Structure 1
Amino acid sequence: MVEDGPWQSHRHRTAIGRADLSKPLRMALQDGVLQAGHTVLDYGCGRGQDVQRLQRMGFEAAGWDPYFNPEGPRDRRDIVMLSYVLNVIEDPRERESTLAEAWKLAQIALVVSCRLNWERGQIAGTDHGDGVLTSRSTFQHLFSTRELKEFVQAVTGEPCVSPMPGMVYAFRKAEDRLSFLAKDTVARYDWSASVDVAMAIGELVSFAESRGRIPIFEEIPDETLSFIGHLSRKEISRLVHIGADPRRIESGAKRAILDTLLYLGTSIFNGRPNYSELPISVREDIRTHFRSYHDACARADRLLLKLRDDTYIRGAMTNSPGKLTATALYVHRRATSTLPVVLRLYEHCGYVAAGRPDDWNILKLDHRGRRVSWSSYPNFDSDPHPKLARTYGVQMSTLESSFQDFSQRANRPLLHRKEEFLSPDDPLTPKFRRLTASEVRAGLYANPTKIGLEKGWEAELLRCNVELRGHRLIKRTATRDSTPDENTTAD
């Protein structure tokens, strides 16, 4: 092994140049873990590009690196980034001490990211210790998603959240972790700017129709409070009662109840919180729509038990948007918000357990065995038959995850009947349905076992003497580049 100062490998060679923010940093910003006003420390910052870009964005950011910036600060900051650092450390004890040091410096949250074991095929090198000694004399310990989460939890002593495979958030306060989990389960009301009293009252009415209750003082933004802050709760209730549609109030209440059950159901993975630790909006939903916190938790637990019932799950899938096969339900990302609550809970349990990739657009829920998968089919809307690029899944019985990359394969799986993955009211459903009808008339689905892969699909297009131009099926012409006229349309 190559000696390099105090290390046993050339760790600094793993520091790469980037044209943009690193993926972990972008995700932390997107998730709201890193917010305006937060101070940031990039612990093991490499060449310091993330730090420079954060500074240009107005953050008070600093970086420390044992090779590139050993004189940099290592002081307490709101957010500490530990990006792809643990991978390159050969000694497991040093790996643990590095993580512990980074956690000690994090006042609000520590963001940890690492390379994963499914990347082994991309690394040229030989096995060494618990990792790989690469051809460039660098070291890589590749984590499984479960190993990474459990490692961070063991060192920090806190329940952690994986927003995506290879990333973990460790929050200093339970309230911050619970608020993060709420953002994906409890519908957030986006207040519009108010310029007068009438608009402010209109926003109160709109909120009430959205959540089935009037907002409490702490939920109302300052600019709206400036117009209605003098009103008592009784007066606000009277104004909402006059202006709100009772049917929308009822619908909003049902939505708030389901959101709360979903939130409390998934919270069991990290230990059910005390009522006082819950986000203020969740507490108010419980106070308004349930007899007690105990009642809300009991109902969430009953919903969790239904996840074990194959008959119940299959029934929920039968009444759900998406494509139901003999083994699973497949649903487009745009349609997941309309899934029955037990299926939303099913998916979210998988997410809380192992994270979900950020580029997925097709969700798969097995109705036996309880496995959740998220797949990426690029250009779903524009490609008449999008090809599978990547799929990531977690087995709920073991919490073990797996990943497959199809992007470089010559004969990739592809989708047909795209409308079946969407909600009936999706604006693209009619367009996709017309294409499917023309393909059926052309005989393209006569041999269903052949069309699941690219080469088989191309063979069927040739057999039927047709080709696709966007979402139109046309008769195949002698000159493929010629522009067809309306008389050559296959349907």
Structure 2
Amino acid sequence: MQQSWNSDRRRTAIGRASLSVPARQALADRQLDAGRTILDYGCGRGGDVVSLQRLACNITGWDPYFSSSSSVAPSDVVLLTYVLNVIEDPVERRQTLKEAWRLAGSVLIVSARLTWDRSKVSGQEYGDGLLTSRQTFQHLFSPNELRAYVEEVTGTRCITAAPGIVYAFKDDSARLDYLAHRIVPDANWLASADTASAIASLVDYVERRGRPPRVDEMPRPMAVQLAHLKPGELKRLVHDSVDAERVSAGAKRTTLNTLLFLAVELFNGRGPFSSLPLGLQLDVRSFFTSYKEACQRSDRLLLKLRDDAYVRGAMNASCVGKITPTALYVHRRAVDRMPAVLRLYEHCASIVAGRPQAWTIAKLKHQGRAVGWLDYPEFNKDPHPRITTSYVADLKSLETSHMSYANSANRPLLHRKHEFLAPDDPDVPRYRRLTESELRAGLYENPHLIGTEDGWEAELIRCGRMLRGHRLVRRHEA
């Protein structure tokens, strides 16, 4: 990474008091396990290196300006964090990515600043980017451009973990393991300190997954605790303890999750049965007559996703979410309760464009295929939460758009919060009572006025009401 043209790359390195967004995402996605070696290639001032070392990660950092004496050796995980942006020479940019890929033993994690940061970068056009007044260079990527670029250079199928964060796996089985982690809920095990608690944990697993685990799926300490029991005896103990209705519900849930995985896998290129993670292989054997049958059912689900009438019917039949003339809006706590075709709709968009780290409500359009992730950070506290960001991915054009409302003086806000949640959500009664109070007070008589902060406040004043938390009171009670 030698300096060329007129850019001073050292000035782009910032001091970090906390982990960068890409490092937090990688931690959440379990890519930075303590047992893996990690290289932060182009680490800048080393903020992520220090923070990850405190988390017991085996990480080293190298930077041509700040850590040039550090050794650069192949590592299980290589982080290339906001490096490609600052390289003004396209040839060198590509070479840097190639070298990072060569050094990665398991996964390369590439992150870059995105085009929606353009308003934060002042400068003049220079090459394929901007040269700032501080003599630093920025090439801003769109999310789709970054993924396509990494795929082209590495020659492998990549997954967008979040907007501006791309994972390139050296081993396709690792990619599928990650994909399964995103789609199929973790098979968490209850603590098992003795035989009795180990059996209770096994019963819990069977009820949630719908099938018994194989020994090599169990945590090792638990397998040891149960090793003295004969298989027939263990099977009887579990059979006598499980709730049959829960097992049936677990089997149905696992079947749908498997179909979703196979559908999304086709989106990236479906492999043979042997390429599936072990847990999914066992799910296929338990709930389908064959891998071929599972794939055929998954393909039919994908075809249904193309049918506007079918998708609209699924939205109308959904037991969760608020439907409008243009879209279905569902809180993130309820997205897994949507019909399978709608879950697939949202998952496909997340694989293409990356699901943002911060979001509250998913918006699924009726016509065309576009998913938006809307962030209302005060949803739980604010009776009428204000939007802060919107990120939309179009599945047909593969284009994305981002909007920030941080500096907006009159932000859109939500009403009828209970409608975005599942009916059995514990917050629904409280939210519904507020909506009913607002209806009785006449606050929804002019729906075209109440969609923004100013309009809503004006209607509150007109009706002589104000809010105290999730209670509506008369203004003279203040």
> Which TM-score applies when normalising by structure 1?
0.95
Instruction: Give the corresponding residue for 2:435.
Output: 436
| Alpha-carbon distance in structure 1 between the residues aligned to 2:270 and 2:93 | 30
| Alpha-carbon distance in structure 1 between the residues aligned to 2:57 and 2:194 | 34
CA 1:8–1:239 in 2, change beyond 3 Å: closer, same or farther?
Answer: same
| Alpha-carbon distance in structure 1 between the residues aligned to 2:199 and 2:105 | 38
Q: Secondary structure at the match of 1:413?
A: coil
Instruction: Give the corresponding residue for 1:23.
Output: 21
- Structural mapping, 1:38-53, within 5 Å: 38-53=36-51
Q: Deviations over 1:250-302 (max 9, x none)?
A: 11111110010010011112100221111110000001111111110110000
Instruction: Give the corresponding residue for 2:372.
Output: 373
Instruction: Give the corresponding residue for 2:255.
Output: 257
Instruction: Give the corresponding residue for 2:12.
Output: 14
Is the 2:32–2:57 contact (alpha carbons within 8 Å) kept by the matching residues of 1?
no
Is the 2:4–2:89 contact (alpha carbons within 8 Å) kept by the matching residues of 1?
no
Letter in 2 for 1:193: A
* Structure 2: segments with no counterpart, 5+ residues: none
* Structure 1: segments with no counterpart, 5+ residues: 478-482, 485-491
Instruction: Give the corresponding residue for 1:149.
Output: 147
Letter in 1 for 2:437: S
- Structural mapping, 1:104-253, within 5 Å: 104-253=102-251
Task: Give how far 1:409 is off.
Answer: 0.5
| Alpha-carbon distance in structure 1 between the residues aligned to 2:13 and 2:345 | 39
Instruction: Give the corresponding residue for 2:400.
Output: 401
Instruction: Give the corresponding residue for 2:312.
Output: 314
Task: Give how far 1:41 is off.
Answer: 0.7
Task: Give how far 1:156 is off.
Answer: 1.1
- Structural mapping, 1:408-487, within 5 Å: 408-477=407-476, 484=478
Instruction: Give the corresponding residue for 1:68.
Output: 66
Between stretches 269-278 and 146-155, larger displacement belongs to 269-278
Is the 2:88–2:137 contact (alpha carbons within 8 Å) kept by the matching residues of 1?
yes
Q: Secondary structure at the match of 2:65?
A: coil
Is the 1:24–1:83 contact (alpha carbons within 8 Å) kept by the matching residues of 2?
yes
| Alpha-carbon distance in structure 1 between the residues aligned to 2:185 and 2:67 | 43
Instruction: Give the corresponding residue for 2:382.
Output: 383
| Alpha-carbon distance in structure 2 between the residues aligned to 1:193 and 1:378 | 33
| Alpha-carbon distance in structure 1 between the residues aligned to 2:91 and 2:41 | 18
Task: Give how far 1:153 is off.
Answer: 0.7
| Alpha-carbon distance in structure 1 between the residues aligned to 2:424 and 2:246 | 19
Is the 2:112–2:165 contact (alpha carbons within 8 Å) kept by the matching residues of 1?
yes
Structure 2 residue corresponding to 1:284, chosen from 282, 285, 288: 282
| Alpha-carbon distance in structure 2 between the residues aligned to 1:216 and 1:5 | 55
Letter in 1 for 2:295: C
| Alpha-carbon distance in structure 2 between the residues aligned to 1:456 and 1:196 | 61
Q: Deviations over 1:135-186 (max 9, x none)?
A: 2110000001000001111111111111110000111111111111111211
Is the 1:123–1:134 contact (alpha carbons within 8 Å) kept by the matching residues of 2?
yes
| Alpha-carbon distance in structure 2 between the residues aligned to 1:443 and 1:156 | 60
- Structural mapping, 1:264-283, within 5 Å: 264-283=262-281
How many residue pairs match? The answer is 476
Instruction: Give the corresponding residue for 1:344.
Output: 343
| Alpha-carbon distance in structure 2 between the residues aligned to 1:71 and 1:363 | 47
Task: Give how far 1:237 is off.
Answer: 2.7
Q: Secondary structure at the match of 2:455?
A: helix
Between stretches 458-467 and 241-250, larger displacement belongs to 241-250
Q: Deviations over 1:383-408 (max 9, x none)?
A: 01111110001111111111111121
Letter in 1 for 2:342: L
Letter in 1 for 2:204: S
Task: Give how far 1:187 is off.
Answer: 2.2
| Alpha-carbon distance in structure 1 between the residues aligned to 2:252 and 2:102 | 43
Is the 2:194–2:225 contact (alpha carbons within 8 Å) kept by the matching residues of 1?
yes
Quick one: percent identity of the two aligned structures?
54
Task: Give how far 1:59 is off.
Answer: 2.1
| Alpha-carbon distance in structure 2 between the residues aligned to 1:432 and 1:194 | 39
Letter in 1 for 2:339: P
Is the 1:269–1:353 contact (alpha carbons within 8 Å) kept by the matching residues of 2?
no
| Alpha-carbon distance in structure 2 between the residues aligned to 1:243 and 1:322 | 35
Task: Give how far 1:6 is off.
Answer: 4.0
Letter in 2 for 1:326: P
Q: Secondary structure at the match of 2:22?
A: helix
Q: Deviations over 1:400-449 (max 9, x none)?
A: 11111112111111101111101111111111111111111111111110
Task: Give how far 1:35 is off.
Answer: 0.7
Q: Secondary structure at the match of 1:137?
A: coil
Q: Deviations over 1:177-230 (max 9, x none)?
A: 111111121122211121222221222222111111110011111111111124
| Alpha-carbon distance in structure 2 between the residues aligned to 1:284 and 1:62 | 38
Q: Secondary structure at the match of 1:304?
A: helix
| Alpha-carbon distance in structure 2 between the residues aligned to 1:176 and 1:235 | 36
Task: Give how far 1:235 is off.
Answer: 3.8
| Alpha-carbon distance in structure 2 between the residues aligned to 1:247 and 1:427 | 23
Is the 2:108–2:167 contact (alpha carbons within 8 Å) kept by the matching residues of 1?
yes
Q: Secondary structure at the match of 2:301?
A: helix
Task: Give how far 1:53 is off.
Answer: 2.0
| Alpha-carbon distance in structure 2 between the residues aligned to 1:371 and 1:6 | 41
CA 1:87–1:198 in 2, change beyond 3 Å: closer, same or farther?
Answer: same
Task: State the superposition RMSD in angstroms.
Answer: 1.3
Letter in 2 for 1:108: S
| Alpha-carbon distance in structure 1 between the residues aligned to 2:226 and 2:15 | 51
Q: Deviations over 1:441-487 (max 9, x none)?
A: 1111111101111111111111112111111111123xxxxx74xxx
Letter in 2 for 1:348: H
Between stretches 309-318 and 275-284, larger displacement belongs to 309-318
Instruction: Give the corresponding residue for 2:363.
Output: 364
Task: Give how far 1:17 is off.
Answer: 1.0
